[in-house]
Structure 1
Amino acid sequence: MRPSRRTLLTAALCTALAAAAPLAQAADAPITIMVGGINKIIYLPAKLTEALGYFKDAGLSVELQSQPAGVDAENQLIAGAVQGVVGFYDHTIDLQSKGKEVQAIAVFCKVPGEVELVSTKAAAAGFKSMADAKGKTLGVTGLGSSTDFLTRYLADRQGVASKDYSLLPVGAGNSFIAAIKQDRIQAGMTTEPTVSQMLKTGDAQVLVDLRTEEGTKAALGGLYPAASLYVQNTWAEAHKEQASKLAQAFARTMAYIHTHTAEQIAELVPRDYYGSDKALYVQALKSSLPMFTSDARMPAGGPETVLKVLATYKPLVKSKNIDLSKTYTNAYLSAPK
């Protein structure tokens, strides 16, 4: 028995409504953002935006999750488990070389904010620059992470081939500190407030400083935009309103950072960010504030520096293969005044 015309029309209408439902709900859907180490100062804008109420002001429901290594957060994004990642911009270029289209829609830092620390013991034994890395074990947060990218480049630039040293994923914070103290790594790349902690205890010394524009330009040849919010290009295109609200909420936070003191900012972070030494955290924060953008926009020339660094040792990343215009956009930020 053939179905009636009315039955067919009803079925078609139900199908159309079912297909439209996710789109109708998209504006109110919760957004999950994975942060590559939520208590790192380089990623402070994530928690700060939440604490300031800027997500709520924009009508967004945002859940922040923490993942110590940026490469793991990246994998969660590609799998569709999260809608955004607060991590390093360089992942967008690396992913494009692998056929994945991801873009930064808000940029937090003009420089990596990373420091290559050398243990005091290794420094005393002659480890004075990256040229001395041969035969050493160097710590990174995770293999395939931005600390991996940068460590390889810094060693290569000093004439040390990747076969001449070892990379060991040691995470960040306490696990990094333990790796240095136990001599499992002789040097490693980490961020604030871990840097200030290790300098205060005397367990490590600065080998390469990427917290300042001057230090970054000297080591990498230009500004290296790093901490950012990146999303899949297809998600941003399908959720333009949410993407715009997210980007603009972060832009408000960047303006807040540049108009408030380290002490005022420290009052907004959870106590476990600084533990029993709030003064040390404030000191680390003061030294880090200049690295933040003031408006969440991509700094001019930055993407080209990142591409140059990655292309040095990653065969798939070559300038002729990468379309930088698809790795970031300022389009979701409000027009500059």
Structure 2
Amino acid sequence: MSRLPKPFTFCVAIALASVVNMSPVQADDTQTISIMVGGISKFIYLPVKLADQLGYFKDEKLHFELLSQPSGVDAENELLAGAVQAVAGAYDHTIDLQSKGKEVQSIATFLQVPGEVEVVAKGSLMKSMADATGKTFGVTGLGSSTDFLTRYIALKSGVTSRQYSTLPVGADNSFIAAVAQHRIDAGMTTEPTVSRLLETGDASVLVDMRTVEGTKKALGGIYPFTGLYVDARWLARHKTQAAGLARAIARTMAYIHTHSAEDIADKMPKDYYGGNKALYVQALKATMSMYTPDGRMPAGGPENVLNVLSTINPAIKGKQIDLSRTYTNEFIVATKAP
């Protein structure tokens, strides 16, 4: 049987919606929301998977699926292509994209600090980022947030991006392999990968942004990092779904701050432990402070992110960036974990 032309089916949808006293926008709210995560097993994205495990998305009557890409920049590209409706990714992408004329908006914030660590491979002579000249640095992807942050902390130490190389090596096992195979001298990654490398002795910490103190030292202030962002056009048409997503995340943040690392680990898929649950729990205990208490964007955070990006990105420096259009706390409501 041949398919009806799209204009005809669209008109039929409008007619049916009016019969049941629903607008086409409301009808769209029954569609599946595809959420792309820039590395779903990373601690920096833990809230979105934990919300799924706790059933909070289902409580909001959301039809959803979680997908994973090794790099946040890949997830961003999926959103811009219209392949997914939301991204669990780094907030700084919203600023970078606005400078390119594209509007995306964060509707919930997971981290008040990056949770990223610059590690140095065993045998490297690097003592600080001032020794970056001639070295190869691992990042999740070119144009990713790890790429942005690597460039900033190197430049802060007097080394420009022309003086070293960057290599996209992904995260988790692929990052560990790049270290073990000596393809990179240093690289930026997150938990639980950091703890796995430290335990084996294959790497050591050079710059630590898992805490507020370490982040302020490296980046000059707090740096809201990961969260849930959506295309502004989608948001305008699907506020009911957006509110449901934000409420689920807010409940998850409350759960994180009222439960132990052991409780949280017990809710996560076993294959996330990397074969060592005790190490997973230990790493989680050390990083609990990086999560926002309620999913709101921290005051002053967007301004510091813009300052960092403006320092390293000529496309942003001098541009008129409207930070109020890069995030919203509109859908975050005070909530308590059960």
- Interval of TM-score (by shorter of Structure 1 and Structure 2): over 0.9
Could you say what secondary structure the match of 2:227 adopts?
strand
Give the unaligned 5+ runs of structure 2.
1-8
Q: CA RMSD in A?
A: 1.8
TM-score (norm. length: structure 2): 0.92
Q: State the distance in 2 between where 1:157 and 1:323 align.
A: 25
| Pair 142,13 (structure 1): closer, same or farther in 2 beyond 3 Å | closer
Match of 2:219 in 1: 220
Match of 2:116 in 1: 114
Q: State the distance in 2 between where 1:291 and 1:131 align.
A: 27
Are the equivalent residues in 2 in contact too, given 1:307–1:319 (CA < 8 A)? no
Amino acid at match of 2:154: A
TM-score (norm. length: structure 1): 0.93
Residue 98 (structure 2) aligned to one of 96, 99, 104: 96
1:159 aligns with 2:158: yes
Q: How far did residue 275 of structure 1 move?
A: 3.2
Amino acid at match of 1:17: A
Q: How far did residue 24 of structure 1 move?
A: 3.8
Give per-residue Cα distances to partners, 1:88-120, cap 9 Å, x unaligned. Answer: 000000000111000110000000000000012
Match of 2:4 in 1: none
Matches within 5 A, 1:1-337: 14=12, 16-17=14-15, 22-122=24-124, 125=125, 127-318=126-317, 320-334=319-333
Amino acid at match of 1:304: E
| Pair 95,13 (structure 1): closer, same or farther in 2 beyond 3 Å | closer
Amino acid at match of 2:298: P
Could you say what secondary structure the match of 1:195 adopts?
helix
Identity of aligned residues (%): 65
State the aligned residue count.
324
| Pair 220,12 (structure 1): closer, same or farther in 2 beyond 3 Å | closer
Task: Please identify the structure whose Cα radius of gyration is greater.
Answer: 1
The runs of at least 4 consecutive aligned structure 1 residues that moved more than 6 Å come to: 18-21
Q: How far did residue 17 of structure 1 move?
A: 2.0
Q: State the distance in 2 between where 1:112 and 1:151 align.
A: 12
Could you say what secondary structure the match of 2:315 adopts?
coil
Q: How far did residue 12 of structure 1 move?
A: 12
| Pair 158,19 (structure 1): closer, same or farther in 2 beyond 3 Å | farther
Q: State the distance in 1 between where 2:14 and 2:192 align.
A: 52
Are the equivalent residues in 2 in contact too, given 1:49–1:249 (CA < 8 A)? yes
Q: How far did residue 26 of structure 1 move?
A: 1.7
Give per-residue Cα distances to partners, 1:65-87, cap 9 Å, x unaligned. Answer: 00010000000000110000001
| Pair 282,335 (structure 1): closer, same or farther in 2 beyond 3 Å | closer
Could you say what secondary structure the match of 2:29 adopts?
helix
Q: How far did residue 27 of structure 1 move?
A: 2.1
Give the unaligned 5+ runs of structure 1.
1-10
Could you say what secondary structure the match of 1:267 adopts?
helix
Amino acid at match of 1:132: D
Amino acid at match of 1:154: I
Could you say what secondary structure the match of 1:86 adopts?
strand
Amino acid at match of 1:59: K
Q: State the distance in 2 between where 1:288 and 1:131 align.
A: 27
Q: How far did residue 22 of structure 1 move?
A: 4.3
